Structure 1
Amino acid sequence: MGKKLIVALLLVCTFVSAQAQTTPAKGSKTEVQDPDNLAKDYFSQIMGVAISATSNLKLYQFIYDWIGTPYRLGGDTKRGIDCSGFAYQLYDKVFNTVIGNNSRNIFSMVNPIDKDELKEGDLVFFKIKSRSISHIGVYIGDNKFAHASSSRGVMISNLDEPYWKRYYYKGGRLIESLREKLNTEN
């Protein structure tokens, strides 16, 4: 059985279980669980990230839908995608914002920020065996980021892993005035 099918079955079981918990016993009050909270709990468990009430559920759903997509240099579809293509698709679909199509020109669109300032949806940049930026990911919280790895496709990694720690360059937040400008042009 595929990983996504197993995860989907677990999600169905979670919702069925939650609905069973909302069925009142005689004489008791009904307590209905918010489906968004169930989804946030679910994504917290499968992504290993503490998802708060203010978290962008659309972001986590997008990442979940792309996990396991194979890597393909220059790719931008579920048949194969590279790191900048993944960041581009995520920003387009989740934030309704068009960004550049390679990690270096995307970096030119951000305000660099320190690692300890990263927030959900910020971009993380790496210089892997290179003097210039060669990899990009999207920060999702708890020191984790989603990206398209050349060896394993779309996945979630931890900035504290020795490999990523070694090649980490900077975090970046899309410049607000640029974000507004891009959104008004479309």
Structure 2
Amino acid sequence: MKKKLITAALATSLLLSFGAGSAFAATTMDGAIDKVIGVDYKYGGTTTSGFDCSGFTSYIFNKLGLDLSRTSGSQFEEGTKVSKDELRAGDLVFFNTSGKGVSHVGIYVGDGKFAHSATNKGVTIDKLSMNYYEDRYLGARRVMSDTQFEKHAK
């Protein structure tokens, strides 16, 4: 009996730890992002062989049947401006990492986190509140309509 309880407790804690580590529920967008977590960063990359930041966002939105421009700067011109306190899953978040304006983009996934292709980690999820990103945050754009949001990200 004691062995069964220990086994059940271990199994439950493993399941909970895997679920707690993921920023994802079961949306189409989450599934598309989850499949590429860990893919290496590659400058100019647009495939699962390697992504740069805008290659990653373009790839994910293409998987959802939505077209985005290729560069972070041009993606910053798409959709509608969204304030940080109104972010919802699927919004694009932009940063000035080069000191020269828009130079990095990611996809807000909820709970204060965003998915992106980082030069040092590849495709990963980070918190917007991390000092590095907080200090370089430029803004967000909503590129999904309410219907697309309901279908892919809610």
Distance 1:62 1:78, change over 3 A: same
Residue correspondence of structure 1 range 79-158 to structure 2 within 5 A: 79-93=49-63, 95-158=64-127
Count of residues paired in the alignment: 133
| Equivalence for 1:61 | 31
Deviates more, 1:57-66 or 1:165-174: 57-66
Matched residue, 1:46? 21
Q: Is the 8 A contact 1:88 1:101 kept in 2?
A: yes
Runs of 4+ in 1 over 6 A off after TM superposition: none
1:139-181 deviation per Cα after TM superposition (whole angstroms, max 9, x unaligned): 00000000000111000000011111010110110174xx9xx
More relative contact order in 1 or in 2 (CA 8 Å, sep 6+)? 2
Bigger share in helix:
1
- Would the aligned equivalents of 1:109 and 1:175 in 2 still touch at CA under 8 Å? no
Change (3 A) 1:101 1:58: same
Tell me: CA distance 1:42–1:140, structure 2 relative to 1, closer, same or farther (3 Å): farther
Q: What is the root-mean-square deviation in Å for CA atoms of aligned residues?
A: 2.2
Consecutive unaligned residues of structure 2, counting only runs of 5 or more, are 1-10, 149-154
Letter in 2 for 1:85: G
Deviations 1:79-114 (A, max 9, x none): 111000000011110x31111000011111121111
When normalised by structure 1's length, the TM-score is 0.65
Distance 1:43 1:107 in 2: 34
**CA separation of 1:62/1:42 partners in 2, compared to 1, >3 Å: closer, same or farther?**
farther
2:131 counterpart letter in structure 1: P
The whole-number CA distance in structure 2 between the counterparts of 1:123 and 1:80 is 20
- Are 1:70 and 1:152, in contact at CA under 8 Å, matched by a contact in 2? yes
- Check 1:107–1:71 CA distance in 2 against 1; reply closer, same or farther (3 A cut): same
Q: What amino acid is aligned across from residue 65 of structure 1 in structure 2?
A: K
1:111–1:175 Cα contact (<8 Å) kept: no
SS of residue paired to 2:126: strand
| SS of residue paired to 2:30 | helix
Inter-partner Cα distance in structure 2 for 1:82 and 1:91? 14
The question of whether the paired residues in 2 share the 8 Å contact of 1:122 and 1:138 is answered with yes
TM-score by length of 2: 0.78
Once the 2 structures are TM-superposed, how far is the Cα of residue 45 of structure 1 from its aligned partner?
2.2
Structure number, greater radius of gyration = 1
Q: What 5-or-longer segments of structure 1 have no aligned partner?
A: 1-16, 18-40, 180-186
